[in-house]
A and B are shown apart, each in its own frame.
Chain A
Amino acid sequence: EAEVAQSPRYKITEKSQAVAFWCDPISGHATLYWYRQILGQGPELLVQFQDESVVDDSQLPKDRFSAERLKGVDSTLKIQPAELGDSAMYLCASSSPFWAATGELFFGEGSRLTVL
């Protein structure tokens, strides 16, 4: 069964260090999302891609966060420098474009970040 792949599953780092997360969406899914989920809360959108283009990154803290999807397939989310408040689960999701299919979201297992 096709699934969204994410790595690493767990990352522990010290504040001020750089961190990177990788996501490989389901094959053929043009839309890719990065969400951040703080314990006990719902996921909050950081960035949405359509192919290689950013559709929405209004909630991405651009002074320290960056995201790219160079070839419109896999994607990387980077944090530099990491701060204590960045400790959270980082979730990647993909979907077929809503105008071409149901728009159903599929999530990966997530990357749990702990900043010390």
Chain B
Amino acid sequence: KQEVTQIPAALSVPEGENLVLNCSFTDSAIYNLQWFRQDPGKGLTSLLLIQSSQREQTSGRLNASLDKSSGRSTLYIAASQPGDSATYLCAVLSGGSYIPTFGRGTSLIVHP
């Protein structure tokens, strides 16, 4: 059974810092990995999708990398802003079950 862990669970930083959020998974036989943002009381918004054959994806100030062999993905946020405050979740689509499995998320606060 796929297990997904996100570290740290919470993070509070001043505006302007570059951040790294971590996601690890136990079964490397994945189809894709997706990063989401969730604002309080809202649904999940897709940020980046990395296919198993890819090493990284970029969108604006966000960059996500994937290392299947070590079971890890990182989400890099450059020049953080207060508007980046939210919970960030990663989901792994396992190659065997094809069921998306989520981590518990990293709660990010960027203060001015």
Cα separation A107 to B32 with both chains bound (whole Å)? 17
Counting CB contacts under 8 A, is A85 at the interface? no
**How far in angstroms is the closest Cβ of chain A from B94?**
10
Which B residues touch A48, using CB under 8 A?
99
| A59 CB to nearest B CB, Å | 10
Give the distance in Å from the alpha carbon of A40 to the alpha carbon of B45 in the complex: 17
- Count, chain A residues at interface, CB 8 A: 27
Choose from B6, B43, B93, B103 the contact partner of A107 (Cβ within 8 Å): B43
Q: Which of B31, B51, B104 contacts A42 (CB 8 A)?
A: B104
- Bound Cα distance from A85 to B97, whole angstroms: 28
Q: Which residues of B contact A (CB under 8 A)?
A: 4, 6, 31-32, 34, 36, 41-46, 49, 51, 89, 91, 93, 97-105
B42 pairs with A43, CB closer than 8 A? no
Cα A55 to Cα B43 in complex, Å, equals 23
The answer to whether A56 touches B100, judged by C-beta atoms less than 8 angstroms apart, is no
Nearest B residue to A110 via CB reads B43
The reply on A105 being an interface residue by CB < 8 A is yes
Q: What CA separation (Å) do A21 and B47 show in the bound complex? A: 26
Within 8 A of B (CB), among A1-53: 4, 6, 33, 35, 40-45, 48
Could you list 25 examples of A-B contacts with CB < 8 Å?
Answer: A4-B43, A6-B43, A35-B102, A41-B104, A42-B6, A42-B105, A44-B102, A45-B100, A45-B101, A55-B98, A89-B41, A93-B44, A103-B93, A103-B98, A104-B32, A104-B34, A105-B44, A105-B46, A105-B91, A105-B100, A106-B46, A107-B45, A110-B42, A110-B43, A112-B41
- Choose among B31, B32, B100 the residue with the greatest number of A CB atoms under 10 Å from its CB: B100
